[in-house]
Amino acid sequence: MGQVSIGIDCGSAACKGILLWDGAVKAVAVKPTGWNPKETAKAILDELIVKAGAEGEEPLITATGYGRVGIEFAQRAVTEITCHALGADYILPGVRTVVDIGGQDSKVISVRNGKVQSFQMNDKCAAGTGRFLEMSAHRMGVDMSGFAALLKEGKSCAISSMCAVFADSEIVSLLAGGKSREEVAGGIVNSVAARTAALAGRIEMESPVLLTGGLAELEGLKRALEVQFQMSVITSELSRFAGAIGAARKGV
């Protein structure tokens, strides 16, 4: 027997869940959110229980993310900014800045002892989000793993458009004009990193910096952010679960 808490972070693109048992990670799960966040969240819950062998336990379930309100089986719902700060501090104790690039928004959070000091969010334009990267990869005929491979070349070209719709047209023009996919992919990531740096410039940004969200494993993005920030950016295998971890910690 022990204390079991579950955090479910239901974002626009993916639903992530984590089960903490006596404060330690015992199970993680992730699925595409799809059209029904409530059903996806329930599937995440069931998977976590089975993976952790927590049948018969009575965990406190906390929901976060844009779909949190619809997760009726959760005992509480907490804002994602709060959860990302708390989760990031679990992943990287002493973290001072959290950079989260999600499917429909991106945010930079100043953190002290797991608590939010200030934050800036871009939720008005798709051009600085993970969705934009996915759309751009699709435009070039690759999935995200293929996009990551293109970035390994370290090439780049300028992407001047500040709107996702116009940037898409610019990508087509650049490719038609002879730019390689490697150059265009690098330009796209540099554009996203520059937008993120603009957000970061509005808060008191300090090291250490943790990159969270589903794009945290994209090494090319990490490098581009380090160039823009002029400081190291840390990632973790748990980075995409930061929001879920923070939600679970709210139940401890």
Q: What is the mean pLDDT of residues 246-251?
A: 90
- Domain ranges in the chain with CATH number 3.30.420.40: 4-82+242-249, 94-235
Residue-wise pLDDT tens digits, 33-87: 888 999 999 999 999 999 999 999 999 999 999 889 889 999 999 999 999 999 9
- Measure the CA–CA gap between 59 and 71, rounded to whole angstroms: 15
pLDDT, residue 153, reads: 86
| pLDDT at res. 184 | 92
| Per CATH, domain 94-235 is 3.30.420.40 | yes
Is 182 in contact with 157 (CB distance < 8 Å)? no
Q: 4-82+242-249 in CATH: which number?
A: 3.30.420.40
95-127 per-position pLDDT tens digit: 999 999 887 788 999 999 999 999 999 866 666
Q: Give this prediction's pTM.
A: 0.91
Q: Categorize the per-residue pLDDT at 162 as very low, low, confident or very high, splitting at 50, 70 and 90.
A: low
Q: Of residues 207 and 213, which shows the higher confidence score?
A: 207
Give the pLDDT of residue 127.
61
CB-based contacts of 166, cutoff 8 Å, min separation 6: none
Residues 179-210: pLDDT tens digits? 999 999 999 999 889 889 988 999 989 999 99
The residues with which 62 forms a beta bridge, in sequence order, are 7, 76
SS (H, E, C) 1-22: CCCEEEEEEECCCEEEEEEEEC
